[in-house]
Amino acid sequence: MDIIRVQGGRKLEGSVAVSGAKNSALKLMAATLLAPGVTTLTNVPDISDVHVMGKVLKHMGAEIEVVDKHTLAIDTSEVNSWEAPYELVAKMRASTAVMGPLLGRFGKAKIAMPGGCNLGARKIDMHILGLEALGVSFDTEHGYIYADATKGMTGSDVTLEFASVGATENLIMAAVRAEGTTLIDNAAREPEIVDLAEMLTKMGAKIEGAGTPLVRIEGVPELHPTEHRVVGDRIEAGTFLVAGALAAGSRGVEVTGFNPVHLTMVIRKLEAMGISFERTEAGMRAMRAETIRPIDIQTLPFPGFPTDMQAQAMVLSALADGSSIITENIFENRFMFASELVRMGADIHIESHHAMIHGVRSLSGAQVVSPDLRGGAALVLAGLVAEGTTEVSAVHHIARGYEAFVEKLSALGAYVEHASVPDPEFD
């Protein structure tokens, strides 16, 4: 059993560069299906979710050349399958992102119901309703979704019930090949949506309004391959900024490789907690807070506070001088992390989608289990400031979204290591 072992009490100093955004790279890889030929992606994170998406594309007939550790040349010329199989999809919820590109290229798709972190129901109703407005018909059978647009897709006005990132991305990738104009109202506004639209535009798509609630897509008859650099990962950046806020030495922790504008709400909330930041030429520096103030946070779609930063914020709140409230509005099961933090001495009570956190003076090292990607990273952060040793298991979740997480923390001065220990179930 692989674990991450953390010895608390070490000060962090130096600079850390974040990788390309997981939530962008996966959708950009899927979008290469729309343009037969070789599309080159740079600044691709070397993480397990990217490896799984690569296997999905290869299953469909794509060839992928790893030019270097962070550059992929994806040749979709010989793609001849429109099926995303269960054994791959079950490992990654972003796998539904191939639905729109497959409909755009082949007019049909067969997608297994998605997997990934156990954060709650993966409702794809909005994907289906939006694509139905373009003329796609759906059937579900034996755990698979069958989508058929062989009669063609026609642009339409689509209003999303919720600003869903996945539904917005699927609709954009399908609409670029639909006949006529598609208007997506209440579209998601995340930076990763903008990144996708920018690459599709380079491929010949006509998209206006990405990053706003109203996106207009004019369908085109074909797209061509291109080269594109993946945007920096704002969630990885936020994670390391929280690490600095918890454990930085006198010179702070500088985080580079991302756009601080993409973390405006996170930075605003952390400043309200007493964390100080400095803009640098390459990014932003976080200073350790001597006293952490309590806070009220609600997770919301961008530009609100991201659900992917909720667990990291909870670690800070657990050590605040007072009581905080965190309200989770995106995923109903995202508080599974809280029970593990309680094992480390935190005082947290969950009521429905609210977490009441009463600050304690210190945390103590313990054996904890990573419940999901962001919760696992947050437990490692908690171990940085806990008394004694923390061992985090189920670390495959962390590997899904953080490249060289242990190595980057070690370079900042943390005492953290990967280790293999006997599995207690089979010892």
Q: How many helices (H) and strands (E) does the chain have?
A: 14, 24
pLDDT tier for residue 299 given thresholds of 50, 70 and 90: very high
Binding-site annotation: residue ranges for UDP-N-acetyl-alpha-D-glucosamine:
93, 308, 330
Is the CATH code 3.40.190.10 the one for domain 2-19+232-420? no
If you search the block for the tokens 């806990």, which residue do you land on? 386
H/E element, 191:
helix 191-202
For residue 210, give the DSSP letter: T
pLDDT digits (tens, 9 = 90+) for 244-271: 999 999 999 999 999 999 999 999 999 9
CATH number of 22-225: 3.65.10.10
Each domain of the chain, given as residue ranges in start order, spans 2-19+232-420, 22-225
Kindly report the pTM of this predicted structure: 0.94
Catalytic pick among 117, 163, 237, 267 = 117
Q: Is the four-CA dihedral 212, 94, 170, 160 of positive or negative sign? A: negative
pLDDT digits (tens, 9 = 90+) for 33-43: 999 999 999 99
Active site residue 117: yes
Indicate the SS3 state at residue 73: strand
Question: Are domains 2-19+232-420 and 22-225 of this chain identical in fold?
Answer: yes
- Distance, CA of 306 to CA of 60 (rounded, Å): 33
pLDDT digits (tens, 9 = 90+) for 141-174: 887 889 999 999 999 999 999 999 999 999 999 9
Check residue 117 and give its pLDDT: 43
List CB contacts of 51: < 8 A, sequence separation 6 or more: none
